[in-house]
Every structure is written in structure tokens, then in C-alpha cells.
Amino acid sequence: QVRLMESGGGSVQAGGSLRLSCKLIEYYDQLGCIGWFRQIPGKIREGVAVIWTRTGRSRLADSVKDRFAISLDNARDLVYLDMNLLDSGDTAKYYCAAELGVSTCRLTASNFATWGEGTQVTVST
């Protein structure tokens, strides 16, 4: 059973950048989807980006597609979320998620069975 551990969150001023990392533990190069989601209190968990481990193909939410990028480092079992031009609307707790053994990836939280504990991102103006 894969486990996930996020890191890289923190506080940043609007317009700044952050890189989040998701360590895939006991991953063993399984095929499927790895995603980043975010959530603020009282709101539903929002899909930010997903990546297919087989092809490296990714999909990003419309709200971030011109500013964020997701990538996979197979050698290190790491998935990154590079976030640029951050604004206050990006303030949230960011979660890494995995759904392995599937061939279709969607930006839908209910499609993912395994989750990390999350890392907080706070953007100040």
C-alpha cells in the first residue's frame, strides 16, 4: 500500500512561488494517477493537478493551468507541484493523492483512495 508525504508548504507573498513535494513511499513504480488537491475550511476539496505515472501526461484545473505545473521524478519517487504567481485565492491546505491500477485520471477527489496529511500554503497580499 503506497503512502504519501507532502512537504514544501509555507507562507509566501502574492506573486511569489512555491514548490510542493509528494514523496511516494512503498510505491514500487506502480501505474496510475497521482494528484494534488486543495481545501479550505468549509469548502469541498478541489482538484488542482493530476499526472499519469505511465506517460507523464498531466491535467491542471483551469484556475491554475497558466501558473502551476505538476511533474514526476520516477527515480526519486517524488511528485512536484510548482506554483507560480500565487495569489490569496491559492491559500489552502494542499494534499497529495494516489489512485493506482487505473488508466484514467480525473481531477475528482472521490476517485482517489490514498491521501497524504497535507501541507498548508498561505499567500499574503
Q: Helix/strand/coil (H, E, C) string of the chain?
A: CCEEEEECCEEEECCCCEEEEEEEECCCCCCEEEEEEEECCCCCCEEEEEEECCCCCEEECCCCCCCEEEEEECCCCEEEEEECCCCHHHCEEEEEEEEECCCCCCCCHHHCCEECCCEEEEEEC
pLDDT of residue 65: 96
Percent of the chain with pLDDT over 90: 86
What are the pLDDT digits (tens) for 45-103?
999 999 999 889 999 999 999 999 999 998 999 999 999 999 999 999 999 999 988 87
